[in-house]
Structure 1
Amino acid sequence: MRIHPLVLARAARGMTGAGLARAIQAAAGRRGLRSGTTRQRVYKWEVEGVIPDPESQILIADAFGIPADLVDPHNWPDWLPAGVIPLDRDDSTVPALREALRTTMTRSRRTFLSAISGAAVVSLADSWAAAAPPARPADGAKNQGQWVDEEVVLLLEDTSSSLMTQATEQRQHTAPLLLAYLERVTDLIENSRYSEPIGLRLHGLAAHLAQTAAWHRFDLGRHDDAITLWNAGLHAARATHDHDLGAAMLGDLAYQASWRDDPRTAAGILKQALTKARHPAAQSLLHLRLARALAAQGERRETLRALTAAEHFLQDSSSDPKPAWCAWLGDADLAVDSGQCLLDLGDTRRAHRLIGEGSALLPRTRDKTRGVFLAYRAHGHLRVGEPEEGAAAATEALLLAERIGAPRCVQLVRNLVPQFKKYPTAEGVPEFLHAAAA
C-alpha cells in the first residue's frame, strides 16, 4: 500500500501529526487568520483520503517552507515534496522507486530549499545498518506478468551503462532517458515474472540508475529529488544483498550533506555505511568522505585517523576489481580531499601542496571533478594570501564548469567571490569577478 505523501513529507521534517497541525495554525497566524486544523484533521487527510481545501493546502505549504506558487490544489497530494521511504519491510523497493519517480518526473522544475531533515536521513542510515536483508528479495516467479529472460535484461544493462557513463555536458540530453529506463525497470520488477538471478540483476540495475539520476538532480540543486532517488537506490541495493552498493547510496547522501554545510549529518551517515562496506575501495571512499566531515567540525585526531584508513584501503584495493560506483577513485582524489581536510584544520601550506599534486594527477576524462579541484585550489591560494594564483584557478574552474554544464561547480566557484573582493586590484581578480557576475 502506498504511503500517503503527506506522511512522508512531515516525517522527513521530524513532524508528528499534532506538530503539523500546530505548524499550520502558526502559518495561519502569520497571515492574521485562524485555522481549526487539528491532529484529527491531519489524520483524515492522510488516512481517510479527505482532500484539504485550497486555503488549507497553502497553509500546509507554508508549514513545510514551500513557496505558495508551487501549490496546485487540483494535484493534491502530488505537489507535496517527497519524504524518505523507511526500510521497514521486505517489499519496500517498488514503493520507494515509485515515490522517487513520482516526485522527480512530475514536480515543477522550479526549486526551493530542501527541507528533508538530516535527522531523517541519519535515521535511514541507522535502519539500513541494523536491517537484515530480505529473505527472498528478488524472486518474481509469483508475479502475474510475462516472463523476463536474460536477453532483455542484458539489453537494458548495456544501454543503461552507456547512459550512466555519459560526459557531464551530454546529461541535458540523456537525463530524461535515465528516468525512462528506471521507470521501465521498476515496471518489470513489480509486474513481470522472472527467476531470482534475473531479479537480482533488475534490482541492481534499478539501484545504479537511481544513483546516477540522483547525481544529476544534486548537480542541479534539486536536493529533495536527489534524496528520494538515493533512498530508492538504497532499497533496491538492499534487495540484492550487495552491502557495498547500499553503502554507496549512503555515501552519496553523506556527500550531499557535507556539500550543504551539514558535516554532522554526513558523519552520522558515513559511520553507519562503514559498518557494512566490504570492498577496500568502498571503505577508502567512505573514510575519505568521513575525514572531510570530521575536518569541517575541527576534529583533528579523528580526521587524520580517517585519512590514514582511506589511504590504507585504497592501497589494498588494487588487487580486486573496484565496484563500478567507485571505480574512479584514485591517488588524485586522496591527495585533493586530504588537502581540503588539512585546509579546514588550518594547515594551509601542506593543504595547498596536496591539492596541487592531486589536480595534476587527475585524468582529463574527469572534467567536472577537475573543476571542483580547481575551486579547492583557488580557495587554498586565498587562505595563504595569494589572490593572483587564486584568481587564475577560479577563472579556469568557472569557464570549465560553464562549458560542460555543471551548475554545482559554478556555484562552488561563485561562493569565492566575497573573498576575492578583498583584493580588487590584484592581477586577474577584476577579470574573475566580471566573469562570475555574468
Structure 2
Amino acid sequence: MDHRRRTFMTFSALALAGLSAQWAALEPDRLTAAMHGRHVDGELVDWMEDTSAKLVALPTEQRQHTAKLMDAQLETVTDLLEQGRYSEPVGRRLHLLAASLAGTCGWHRFDQGRHYAAGKLWNAALTNAHAARDRDLGAGVLSDFAYQSIWLAQPDAAVEPLSQALVHTRHPTARSLLHLRRARAHAALGVAADCHRDLAAAETALLTDSPDPAPAWCQWMSTADLAVDSGQCMLDLGRTDEAHARIDEGMSLLPRSRDKTRGIFLTYEARSLLHAREVEQAVTVANRSLDLATRIGAERCVTLVRELAPAFKPYRRVDGVAGLMDRLKSG
C-alpha cells in the first residue's frame, strides 16, 4: 500500500473518531432542525468553530486530504446563514466562520492552480467579512487576492488592494505582511524606491509589540518570511548576492511545520543560486523543492519549480541538470 495512502487512512480513522465523539455530544436533531429554518443556537456554532479550527490547524501534508471536509463545513455554514434563524451575535459568528472557511478553501484551490475557483471563494470570504463588520479580516482577504496577482505575474493589480488593506488594519503583524507583499509587487514592477520603503515598514511593524494577538490570517508571519521575501525582492531588482544571503537567512529560521512555505522558499533559493551561477547546488535545491511540493500535493508549488526549466536549459551539460529537466517534463 502506498505510504501516502496509509498516512491518510490513519488520519481518517483518528479524525472521524474525534468528530464523531464531538458530534455525539450534540442533540441528534439540532443541525437538521437549524437547516430547516429553526433556531441556530450557540452550542452548534461552538462545535462548528471548534471543528473548523482543528481542520485548518492540520499539517499541510494532511490538509490536502481534508478538502472535502472543509468544503462541506463551508456549505453547511452557508446553508445555516440562508435558512436558519439566529440572533445577531450568532449571525455575526456564522459570517466570520464562513469568511474563514471560504478563505481556507480558496487557498486550497489556489495551491491546486485553480485560480478562478480560488478567486470566487475569496470573494465569498470578503462578502462574509463585510457582513460580520470585520474590516481586519477583510484586509486579510484583500491580501490574498494581491498575493495571487503577484503569483500570476500581475503585480500592478496587487498594489491598490494592498494599499486599501493597509488603511483597514492596525495590528503590526498584519501591517508587516501587507507591506511585505506590496514590496514584492513594487519589486516585480522594478520600482526600487517604493520596494525598499515597504520592506523597511514591514520590518519595523514586525518588531513592534502589541497587547493583542495577531489576526488568524497572519499569525504565521515571521522573520523567516520577511527575510525570504526580501530576498525575492532583491532578486527581482537584480541584487543577486544580497538576495541569496537573505533567502539563506530565511530558510535557516523557518520552522519545520511549514512545509508548503519551505517548498516555495527552496524554489526561490534555487533561482537565486542560478543567478549566482552555482548550478549544481541549484539542481540539488530544486530537486528538494520538487520532492516536497509533490509530497504535500501542492500543484502550485510544483508549477513554480517547473518554471525554472528555461533557466536550467543552458546548463544541460552540468551534472544533474539533465535528470532534473527530465523530472520537470515527466511531472
Q: Gapped runs of 5+ residues in structure 1?
A: 1-142
Q: Distance in 2 between matches of 1:409 and 1:399?
A: 10
CA distance in 1 between partners of 2:121 and 2:144 (Å): 11
Match of 1:360 among 227, 249, 252: 252
TM-score, structure 2 as length reference = 0.87
1:246 and 2:138 equivalent?
Answer: yes
Partner of 1:437: 329
Deviation at 1:280, TM superposition (A): 1.1
Contact kept, 8 Å, 1:243 with 1:278, in 2: the verdict is no
Q: What is residue 226 of structure 2 aligned with on the other side?
A: 334
Superposition deviation, residue 389 in structure 1: 1.3
What letter corresponds to residue 223 of structure 2 in structure 1?
D
Equivalent residue for 1:145, pick from 37, 40, 44: 37
Aligned twin of 1:303: 195
Query: After superposition, what is the alpha-carbon deviation per residue over 1:383-425, rounded to whole angstroms, capped at 9, x for unaligned?
Result: 1111111111101101111111111111100100111111112
Residue type of the alignment partner of 2:287: T
- TM-score normalised by L of structure 1: 0.66
What does residue 317 of structure 2 align with?
425
- CA-CA distance at 1:318 after TM superposition: 5.5
Q: How does 1:115-264 map to 2 (within 5 A)?
A: 145-264=37-156
Q: Contact 1:378 / 1:393 at 8 angstroms: preserved in 2?
A: yes
Report what 1:279 is aligned to: 171
CA contact (8 A) 1:279 1:317 kept: no
Of 277, 281, 288, the residue aligned with 1:389 is: 281
Find the residue that maps to 2:66 and give its secondary structure. Answer: helix
Equivalent-residue separation in structure 2 for 1:172 and 1:352 (angstroms):
31
Question: What CA RMSD, in Å, does the superposition of the two structures yield over aligned residues?
Answer: 1.5
Distance 1:323 1:436 in 2: 38
Deviations 1:362-390 (A, max 9, x none): 00000110000000000001111111111
- Would the alpha carbon gap of residues 144 and 428 (structure 1) be closer, same or farther in structure 2, given more than 3 Å must change? closer
Indicate conservation of the 8 Å contact 2:60/2:258, yes or no: no
Please name the residue that 1:139 is paired with.
none
SS at match of 1:204: helix
Alpha-carbon distance between aligned partners in 1 of 2:314 and 2:223, rounded to the nearest angstrom: 34
* CA offsets 1:36-65 (integer angstroms, 9 cap, x no match): xxxxxxxxxxxxxxxxxxxxxxxxxxxxxx
More helix by share: 2
1:432 Cα deviation (Å)? 1.7
Q: What is the SS of the residue equivalent to 2:305?
A: helix
Once the two structures are overlaid, the 10-residue window that deviates more, 427-436 or 261-270, is: 427-436
- Structure possessing the higher radius of gyration over alpha carbons: 1
- Which runs of 5 or more residues in structure 2 are unaligned? 1-34
CA contact under 8 A between 2:171 and 2:210: conserved in structure 1?
A: no
Match of 1:325 among 200, 204, 217: 217
Which amino acid in structure 2 is aligned with residue 374 of structure 1?
A: L
Task: For residue 282 of structure 1, report the CA deviation from its aligned partner.
Answer: 1.0
Q: CA deviation at 1:162?
A: 1.5
* Distance of 1:210 and 1:247 partners within structure 2: 14
**How far apart are the structure 2 equivalents of 1:433 and 1:382?**
14
Question: What amino acid sits opposite 2:125 in the alignment?
Answer: G
SS of match in other structure, 1:427: coil
For 1:318 and 1:420, locate their aligned partners in 2 and report how far apart those are by CA, in whole Å: 45
Contact 1:213 1:229 (C-alpha < 8 Å) held by counterparts: yes
Deviations 1:148-196 (A, max 9, x none): 1111001000111112222333234211111111111111112222222
Matches within 5 A, 1:12-51: none
1:211: Cα distance to partner? 0.1
SS in 2 for 1:197: helix
Give aligned-pair identity as a percent: 55
Distance, in Å, in 2 between the alignment partners of 1:425 and 1:360 is 31
